[in-house]
A and B are shown apart, each in its own frame.
Chain A
Amino acid sequence: MMRPLTESHRRRIYGARELSGTADEVLGRSYDVCVIGSGPGGAVAAGTLASAGLDVVLIERGAFRPPKDFTFQALDMATRLGHVELTRGYRTALLQGNVLGGGSIIYGAVAMRPPAAVWNEWQAATGLDDMSEAAFEPHYAEVGAALSVTRQSTALENRPNAIVREMAHALGRPDGLHVVHRYTAGCAGVGLCNFGCAMDRKGTMLNSFLPMGLESGHLTVLTECEAEALEGERRSGVYHASGVRIACRVAETGDVVRRSVVKARAIVAAAGAFFTSALLLRTRDLPHRDRIGAKVYLQPHAQVFALFDESVTQRGEIVDERYIPFNGVPAIYNFLGFLPDRQFWWLASTLFPANLAAFVSHLPQADHAAIMRRYHYTTSVTITTRDNPERSRVTMDRGRPALDFRESRRDAEILRDSLCCAARGFLDVGARRVFLPLLRPPQIAGARDVDAFARRPLGYEEVLLYSDHTSGGTPMGRDSRHGVTNGDGRLFGTANVYVADSSLFPSSCGANPSWTIMALSHRMASRLAAG
């Protein structure tokens, strides 16, 4: 059930400019809990804790953008909502939301759970008996209801999704085709979830846990506030946090207009795997610092485009001088046929011309123009690979975080295998050409081209990869030998520092992670609220 964000809710959302002036009643008092990050981890924690009656302050680096600010236009939305880092060696881009609501504003709204094999792996790695899907079931149900998790209807199948279905059959793994659940009960079918849903039909933190918390009257939201480090001290070997040092930065100008410390009796870090580790590493006197951010997983994504003889997408409509594609529900199916044994899966991509234009930008001008003319005859799948990097550690360089990253040989093989499978699948269902996401992609027009590509070595640096599934860094465990945080998400060696995002994952989750992040966060917050 989605909840609207009302005017009275908005009065408790502060921006940097408001905090620069007369907001001492907000910054000058102490809270029960300070939550850092407003994405699926942070907002669920904040909403759950506030609803339980705790006095909660939520800190978000990005600004508040209501859905009426979203336009579905690439030029408007392209660089407004996200934040990107690049791993050392320029191998992979790390993307996360940088707006109130975090990644939920720009995610594709696909609700997935890790496969059974991953839960078994997690239980063994953590040594925690309650690290099982069954134990998390009530939390999945609770957050699922709040975000209207709904199984999509195959009656809504559009041509890009039909191609995904046909590929599953052509590749001999029809059983791997799964109808997805999404955070929407009434998708309008624009097909550009990643620009922010201007229709407000997508379940996000802005229409679920944030209004829930604000409705309770116990939640205060500070936007355009960067959490720099925790404040606290060690007593008898245990770290006690007393607050969070923040910088209030105006999004439009980048100017810092105020620095302060938000005081709280407990801290919940939910800034995403990369920034949660960075925040903790910037904090002095924190125990187990050498293990924080030590192993981060990317689950990188790669797009593969294909050109067909028949049109795949429909003409959109011009509404108020804006082009709205109405491509249909972007993902009806998830193709999981190769996940158990080959560690990758895919679904139909969001489609818009600038995406294709950039993707084939290696082509000479005339070829590029010819492909663009055939935009409606192209489609794409987005592959996600389950990774286990050789090296992937968050490090600090003069106060700035970086991800020292190197994929394993196995990860590179999985990636190449996934690209070959997608290319073969497209060709098998009638694609005339396939475009791979390489800086200098080979021409793929037949099976022989794929075979040739399959024989060549491949490193991540050659591939246009991005990750918005970053996880790990403060994994859960029964004790400090098994993890960095305990089963409640509390950092070992601390009295009151908790983590509530994908940093808790012991390894890649083998699924779109948002639902599991929310379930973890909900459990952590429920236990914290229960004392």
Chain B
Amino acid sequence: MTGIETVLTEIDAVGRDLDRRTFLKAVAAAFVMPSGPLAEDDERFFRRVTATLVPEADLRRTGIDPVGNLRHLLQRTRADHRRRISTLISAVRRVSFFYGGEQVVLRGRTSRFVLMQKASRALASLCLLCVWGDPRSFALVDLPGGRT
């Protein structure tokens, strides 16, 4: 098995782990972990984070809506995945002020917490999946056949 795992394993596994580890208790004891559907705050955060990874002009040009794709993904997936993905987004949003808000996906990688490093990468992977998993993203890709 190859390929898909590098996009998805961290999303799933980190989301699962955020449920049970003490990391968030230490960093943000006041927060209560959500378990319901994605909140509007989380969707806005997701959109802002995606904008740090993918140029706004590219999204406009292709008409890709990362949040719409996220909803599609959540709708299609199993209940346990849905819960973990929602947990991941919400949890990272709640600690993101330590890492420059939506810059968390880049700055979180330098965190001394390994879970934060992995969580920030997982969120980045999720954002990018919701852009580059959309067939319209091929409009952004050079045609094969030429040379650099």
Contacts and interface: CB of A to CB of B under 8 A. Distances in A.
> Do A and B make up one complex?
yes
Interface of A: 63, 73-80, 82-86, 89-90, 93-95, 98, 103, 106-108, 192-195, 250-255, 301, 303, 309-316, 318, 321-323, 330, 347, 349-359, 361-362, 364-366, 368-369, 372-377, 380, 382, 400, 432, 437, 439-440, 461, 464, 466, 468
Contacts of B7: 74, 78, 354-355, 357-358
Nearest to A250: B79
A511 B141 CA distance: 35
Contact of A315 (B13, B143, B148): B143
A350 B17 contact: no
Nearest to B85: A79
A361 B12 contact: no
A109 to B, nearest CB: 9
A95 B14 CA distance: 13
Given A323-B138, A368-B53, A76 B143 contact: no
B47 to A, nearest CB: 15
A312 B147 CA distance: 11
24 contacts: A74-B133, A75-B69, A77-B4, A79-B11, A80-B76, A82-B5, A95-B1, A193-B1, A194-B5, A195-B4, A252-B78, A254-B79, A311-B146, A314-B144, A315-B138, A315-B143, A322-B135, A357-B128, A361-B125, A362-B109, A366-B55, A376-B142, A376-B143, A437-B6
Given A310-B147, A362-B106, A380-B3, 18 more contacts: A75-B129, A82-B8, A84-B13, A90-B114, A93-B9, A98-B78, A250-B79, A314-B144, A330-B2, A347-B2, A353-B141, A354-B7, A355-B3, A355-B6, A369-B58, A373-B142, A382-B2, A440-B109
A376 B146 CA distance: 10
B15 to A, nearest CB: 9
A227 B77 CA distance: 22
Nearest to A331: B2
B11 to A, nearest CB: 7
A292 B104 CA distance: 41
Contact of A439 (B12, B69, B121, B146): B121
Contacts of B131: 357
B2 A84 contact: no
Interface in B116-148: 117-118, 121, 124-125, 128-135, 137-138, 140-148
B129 A358 contact: yes
Given A74-B133, A75-B134, A353-B132, A108 B1 contact: yes
A-B CB proximity, top 7 nearest: A254-B79, A350-B3, A93-B9, A311-B144, A74-B133, A323-B135, A86-B13
Contacts of B55: 365-366, 369
Contacts of A89: 114
B107 to A, nearest CB: 11
A254 to B, nearest CB: 3
Nearest to B142: A373
A374 B143 CA distance: 8
Contacts of B93: none
A485 to B, nearest CB: 26
B80 interface: yes
B141 A361 contact: no
Interface of B, secondary structure class, is helix
A213 B148 CA distance: 54
Contacts of A322: 135
Given A352-B3, A357-B129, A373-B142, A73 B135 contact: yes
A223 B55 CA distance: 43
Contacts of B5: 82, 93, 95, 194, 301, 466, 468
A253 B37 CA distance: 12
B73 interface: yes
Nearest to B110: A440
B52 interface: yes
Q: Interface on chain A toward B: helix, strand, loop, or mixed SS?
A: mixed
A76 B76 contact: yes
B144 A376 contact: yes
Contacts of B58: 369
Contact of B145 (A98, A311, A382, A400): A311
Number of contact residues on B: which range applies?
Answer: 35 or more
Contacts of A380: 3
A315 B105 CA distance: 30
Given A75-B134, A357-B128, A375-B141, A303 B8 contact: no
Contact of B135 (A318, A365, A373): A318
A465 to B, nearest CB: 9
A132 B7 CA distance: 38
A316 B1 CA distance: 21
A85 B13 contact: yes
B94 interface: no
A349 B3 contact: yes
Nearest to A432: B148
A376 B79 CA distance: 35
B1 A464 contact: no
Interface in B16-70: 16-17, 20, 52-55, 58, 69
B147 A79 contact: no
Q: Which residue, of A78, A250, A252, A253, has the highest number of chain B Cβ atoms within 10 A? A: A78
Interface centre among B115, B135, B137, B142 (most CB of A within 10 A): B135
A311 B146 CA distance: 7
A315 B3 contact: no
B39 to A, nearest CB: 19
B33 to A, nearest CB: 16
Nearest to B55: A369
A391 B119 CA distance: 25
Contacts of A323: 135, 138
A80 B77 contact: yes
A373 to B, nearest CB: 5
Contacts of A85: 13, 16
Given A354-B132, A358-B124, A372 B115 contact: no
B54 to A, nearest CB: 7
B142 to A, nearest CB: 5
A250 B80 CA distance: 10
Listed residue (A98, A311, A357, A439) with the most chain B CB atoms within 10 angstroms of its CB: A357
